[in-house]
Amino acid sequence: MNTFKRFHPVTIVVYFFVVTGFTMFYNQPVFLVISCIGALIFSILLLGRELIASIPFYFLFFLGAAVINPLFNHNGTTILFFLNGQVITKEAVIYGFFMAIMLIAVLMWFRALSILMSSDKWLFLFGTVTPRLALVMSMALRYIPLFRMQVQKIQQTQKAMGAINEDSYLSKGAGSLQIFSVMVTWSLENAIDTADSMRARGFVDHHKKNYKRSRFVNYKFRRSDGLLIFLVILLTGILSAGILKGAISYSYYPTASKLLFSKESIIPYAAYGILVLLPAILEIKERIQWIYYKSGM
């Protein structure tokens, strides 16, 4: 799934915000199913076999989420049965089912987003708006592995000195705390050194007038990025128009309405389907192109 990864961070974020936004906040059944299928295809392309390991988790999560709603929500007019004197309605069961689909779809989309948007891409985005904050974040990100290494060093030293023992759970905890305390001293001193060193090298932290800090940017906004964003906006416009027209409106309560498939409703469904499948389409196009080029060599 390298095609989508190569896009500019802004493009990736715009795409994901639109797709997850519709999934989270517009819970029309057909839309939810389309989004879930899209998320599944995306995940398969992105994760491959890794996805199999998380299927039991998704399945249990789905089951749990679907069951909760009818137990707590007694809206709806079609009574299925009574449980401990509580009404279980058909509408609540349907709603719970589709909410579970929504939750699973959102989880899968965000998992894909986490893979595509590594922390450096996020820092690039934050950096345009809040350079100071992005600096703090990138420093903290670098410190985390450093601290984990340092913790190991301290641990070994303390053990060798016989300063901590691991006889019981309690002494183990006390030992961890002691290591952490040493860690804090070391890192605070380290922080001051870093700060002084930065100042010595000309890092100006005050907001001087006309002071401009340059930064290293590794991302180019290409024509394909513009095209993709334009496509996303266009599709969003088409399906928003469809939603506002009421061609595909649906309500779960008080009685679950019937799904209408008319000529008018096909357009927003198709638009959403294309939107959700965009990364997969791009990837497949790229693979076909590759085969074509290879055969021509």
Partner 1 sequence: MIKKISVRQKKIIEYVIIFLLIPTIIALGTLVFEDRKYAFITLAVTILACIPLLLTFEKRTDSTRKLIIIAVMTALSVAGRFLFALVPGFKPVTAIVVLTAIFFGGEAGFLTGALSAVLSNFMFGQGPWTPFQMLAWGMIGLVAGFLARPLRKSKILLSLYGIVAGAAFSMIMDIWTVVWYDDSFQPALYIAALLSSLPYTIMYAASNVVFLLAMIGPIGKKMERIQTKYGI
Residue selected from 33, 52, 78, 203 as contacting partner 1 according to rule CB under 8 A: 203
Q: Mention every residue, 6+ apart, whose C-beta is less than 8 A from residue 78.
A: 89, 90, 91, 255
Site for partner 1 contains 205 (CB under 8 A): yes
Residue selected from 53, 55, 84, 129 as contacting partner 1 according to rule CB under 8 A: 129
The C-alpha R_g of the chain, in whole angstroms, comes to: 26
Site for partner 1 contains 5 (CB under 8 A): no
**Hey, CA dihedral for 279, 48, 108, 118, is it positive or negative?**
negative
Please state the φ and ψ torsions of residue 258, each to the nearest 5 degrees: -80, 145
Site for partner 1 contains 61 (CB under 8 A): no
Residue selected from 30, 46, 94, 106 as contacting partner 1 according to rule CB under 8 A: 106
Nearest CA-CA partner of 262 in 278, 251, 247, 272: 247
Residue selected from 63, 136, 241, 288 as contacting partner 1 according to rule CB under 8 A: 136
> What is the distance between the alpha carbons of residues 147 and 135, in angstroms, rounded to a whole number?
18
**Count of CA atoms in the C-beta half-sphere (13 A) of 95:** 23
E runs forming strands in the chain: 79-83, 86-89
Residue selected from 13, 40, 113, 267 as contacting partner 1 according to rule CB under 8 A: 113
Residues that bind partner 1 (CB under 8 A): 20, 24-27, 65, 68-69, 72-73, 99, 103, 106-107, 110-111, 113-114, 119, 122, 128-133, 135-137, 139-141, 143-144, 146-148, 151, 172, 176-177, 179-181, 183-185, 187-192, 194-196, 198-199, 203, 205-207, 212, 240, 243, 251-252
